[in-house]
Amino acid sequence: MATMTYLQAISDAMREEMRADERVFVMGEDIGVFGGAFKVTDGFIDEFGAERVMDTPLAESAIVGTAIGAAVEGLRPIAEMQFSDFVSCGFDQLVNVAGKMFYRQGLSVNITVRLPSGGGFSGGPFHSQNPEAWFMHAPGLKVVAPSTAEDAKGLLIKAIRDPNPVIFMEHKHLYRRVKGEVPEGSYETEFKARVARAGSDLVVIAYGAMVHTALEATADLDGASVEVLDLRSLVPMDTEAILASVRKCSKVVIVDEANQMCAAGAQVAALIAEHAWEDLDGPVVRVATPDVPIPFSPTLEQAVLPQVDDVREAVRELLDF
């Protein structure tokens, strides 16, 4: 075991896979010589060369489209969007070409698309988004979102090896803020939820950066026993784990950093309403970003992104219900 940041764990996953499998290569804007906007591929070009650490033109549709072509020919590209926001320019290739390819014609598309996502540092409306729900709604794409360093590595390795297109949501705000013990070598983390903290009075369901917000908000809450369920995978969604936590705790708060309309949490809420109605001891409560672009100024940004106090307040209210 080694202590790594979330960012180092992501780098480590790609390095391990590139060393072990020559089919794996990385491509994206400024990822080679510069090492990536966030330095996730720092030093890769020296170890693997410019062909496997490919600096691409500034063209997201082309990054995704050519990755698809390389994948159906047997390679395993890992494409980086410089910021998750720019995936909107590659949306068509992901949704219409990659997502539907296997269903339509039995041709598997083994691509991993890394999306540095999320806000919290004045990135403004074009560098702070959480676009995972766009892709949850597009059949044929898997969507995962780690919250810890250990899971970042294991989920990314699993994604790289998965014969299907996988959208890998890596939260920028966790890159250097989150550290943890990470196993050496290669390992896969299943696309399933994990109980981040066990509890019995209420469960907070979250993923990505909001797992940490949830843990902090409920660390010491008047002695209440609060479970935190880390979804880790949004597609496939771990229905069993969600319903198990709900049945155990009977009260649910769902947290999304994404805009609330049709967010991952909305799907979780629908799932609970449909399958666990009789197990509930109160309304399903959601905490999410209101449906506005993510504003730039710190005071505005903090006003919209779910904060520790927002989650704490929501949990308190529901505990008192």
The catalytic residues are 127
Smallest separation, CB 137 to other proteins (Å): 14
Instruction: Please say which residue, 71 or 152, places its beta carbon nearer to other proteins.
Output: 71
Instruction: Please say which residue, 140 or 146, places its beta carbon nearer to other proteins.
Output: 140
Does 69 contact other proteins by CB under 8 A? yes
State the Cα angle at 32 between 143 and 1, rounded to 5°: 60
Instruction: Please say which residue, 227 or 238, places its beta carbon nearer to other proteins.
Output: 238
Q: Of 30, 75, 239, 300, which lies in the binding site for other proteins, with binding defined by CB under 8 A?
A: 75
Instruction: Please say which residue, 61 or 307, places its beta carbon nearer to other proteins.
Output: 61
Per-residue contact track with other proteins, 44 to 63, x per CB under 8 A? -------xx---xx-x-xx-
Report the site for other proteins in 111-130 (rule: CB under 8 A): none
Give the binding range for other proteins (CB under 8 A) out of 11-19, 64-72, 197-205, 291-299.
64-72
Q: Which two tokens stand for residue 86?
A: 């720019």
The span from the CA of 215 to the CA of 229, in Å, is 10
Does 244 contact other proteins by CB under 8 A? no
Nearest to 246 by CA among 224, 278, 212, 220: 278
Q: Which two tokens stand for residue 295?
A: 């504003």
Q: Which two tokens stand for residue 172?
A: 């920028």
Does 70 contact other proteins by CB under 8 A? yes
Does 20 contact other proteins by CB under 8 A? no
Does 28 contact other proteins by CB under 8 A? no
The number of C-alpha atoms within 13 Å of 127 and in the hemisphere containing its C-beta is 11
Dihedral sign for Cα 75, 78, 84, 85, please. Answer: negative
- Angle between the 264-275 and 239-249 helix axes, to the nearest 10 degrees? 60
Instruction: Please say which residue, 165 or 199, places its beta carbon nearer to other proteins.
Output: 165
| Edge-first strand listing for the sheet containing 233-235 | 53-55, 24-28, 76-80, 112-117, 166-171, 142-144, 233-235
Phi, psi of 3, deg, nearest 5 = -85, 125
Give the binding range for other proteins (CB under 8 A) out of 7-15, 65-73, 259-267, 294-302.
65-73
The span from the CA of 29 to the CA of 48, in Å, is 17
Q: Of 33, 47, 137, 139, which lies in the binding site for other proteins, with binding defined by CB under 8 A?
A: 139
What residue ranges bind other proteins (CB under 8 A)? 25, 51-52, 56-57, 59, 61-62, 64-75, 92-93, 96-97, 100-108, 110, 139-140, 142, 163-164
